Amino acid sequence: MTEQLRLMAVHAHPDDESSKGAATMAKYVSEGVDVLVATCTGGERGSILNPKLQGDPYIEEHIHEVRAKEMDEAREILGVKQEWLGFVDSGLPEGDPLPPLPEGCFALQDVDEAAGALVKLIRSFRPQVITTYDENGGYPHPDHIMTHKITMVAFEAAGDPEKYPEAGPAWQPQKLYYNQGFNRPRTVALHEALLARGLDSPYGEWLERWKEFSRRERTLTTYVPCADFFEIRDKALIAHRTQIDPDGGWFRVPMDIQKEVWPTEEYELAKSLVDTSLPEDDLFAGIRNN
Q: Which of 125, 176, 127, 183 is nearest to 150 (CA)?
A: 176
Amino acid letter, 238 = I
Please give the Cα distance from 232 to 25 (Å, whole number).
10
11 has binding-site annotation: no
Contacts of 145 (CB under 8 A, 6+ apart): 107, 133, 135, 136, 137
Contacts of 77 (CB under 8 A, 6+ apart): 232, 235, 236, 239
Q: Which of 85, 147, 88, 155 is nearest to 117 (CA)?
A: 85
Give the helix ranges, DSSP H, for the chain.
16-19, 22-30, 57-61, 63-78, 111-125, 142-157, 184-196, 204-212, 230-239, 255-261
Question: How many beta carbons lie within 10 A of that of residue 204, not counting itself?
Answer: 12
SS3 241: coil
Strand partners for 269: 177
282 has binding-site annotation: no
Pairing of strands 129-132, 6-11: parallel
Please give the Cα distance from 232 to 39 (Å, whole number).
20
SS3 217: coil
62 has binding-site annotation: no
Q: Please give the annotated binding residues for Zn(2+), written as ranges.
A: 13, 16, 144
Q: Which residues are documented as binding site? A: 13, 16, 144
